[in-house]
Copies of this chain bind each other. A is one copy, B any other.
Amino acid sequence: MPQPRKRATIREVAKATGLSPAAVSYALRGMQVSEETIERVRRAAEELGYEADPIARALASGRTGTVGLLCGSLEDLWQQALAVRIGRALKDNDRYALILDAAGDPARERILARQLRDQRVDALIVQPVDPAAAFWAGLCEGLPVVAIGDALAGARTAGEVVFDNRAGVTLALEHLRDRGHRRVAVLTPTRASTPDRPADVHVLAEAGRLGMDIEVVTAPHALAAATEVADTVLSAGHRAFFCFADSIAYGVYAAATERGLAIPGEVAVMGYDDHPMSGLLSPGLTTVDWDIGGIVRAAVRLVMGAADGGTPHHGRIVQAPQLRERGSVG
């Protein structure tokens, strides 16, 4: 096996400066040593091309300067956008994000969450697929976790940015009803096994209250696959859709267009999320906006507070929905 390149170790820097490795270690982190020594060490390190090995550092100290970002399903364009923006915001805080994709699978979510903990991430941001899963409680011991979307049941998280899904669902369904749609197909994201998300529960409750006739169908986020599902639902006679993700609504657009059905004339579509592309379609997709910028800021603030070992605020931030009316509902 060819050496993957010989790098300087902390011991060589120690030798070069006549100090002990311990002193070098402290100096490089600016602790407990004189200014002059710090400078000397810094110079020697530079000269030798020394850079601390993050793996060794992680093993010894248990910290990494890294934040895990576990997404529910990265096939969702909105979650993609969220991940990218959180990644950039963390970068501005000198952390770097490890982005992972649970692919809508609760089992995979459990595995990846554990894996991130074992990787010694300083904190974890998660958009849970199954917020009711039991393992969250254990995970939250000793690892600051910030949840986005739904709160984790029975877990001492370091913070949560939750969506007021009850309000969001009400907004969407009332809008559809006000425009004369009583019979509505609800397209909700596919999950490998299907824990009922709080949001789904609200749909049924609200539909009952509003006297609407609801059919819930699961659909994938990927455009081609969502289009297929939408097509099936169209052929079942549905003409009004409430999609639990803008990505899925795009599938309805595609399916309707394929069949030559006009939006909003013949088919009404309502989204949920407000992805930037939704405004570009014609007609624009009427949707429920959660203020992605605010979510990013809140999540990063919570996670930075927790990762620095500060007091676990347990901030709970509730996002209020806003109807973004664009014309896809007749």
Contacts and interface: CB of A to CB of B under 8 A. Distances in A.
Contacts of A153: none
A87 B88 CA distance: 19
A119 B57 CA distance: 11
A141 B5 contact: yes
Interface stretch (A72-80, A163-171, A194-202, A229-237): A72-80
Given A53-B118, A55-B58, A84 B80 contact: yes
Contact of A5 (B3, B5, B142): B142
Contact of A55 (B55, B74, B142, B279): B55
A142 B115 CA distance: 26
Interface string A75-118: 10100100010011001000010111101000000001011001
B100 A96 contact: yes
A211 interface: no
Interface in A126-183: 138, 141-143
Contacts of A141: 4-5
Given A101-B84, A250-B280, A280-B254, A142 B54 contact: no
Contacts of A88: 101, 103
Given A84-B80, A91-B103, A118 B4 contact: no
A84 B74 contact: yes
A223 interface: yes
A253 interface: yes
B224 A253 contact: no
A208 interface: no
A266 interface: no
Contact of A142 (B3, B51, B91): B3
A59 B56 contact: yes
Given A80-B80, A84-B101, 9 more contacts: A4-B141, A5-B138, A51-B114, A55-B120, A75-B84, A80-B84, A96-B100, A223-B280, A282-B282
8 contacts: A4-B141, A4-B142, A5-B142, A91-B101, A250-B280, A253-B280, A257-B280, A282-B282
The 3 closest A-B pairs by CB, nearest first: A4-B142, A223-B276, A99-B99
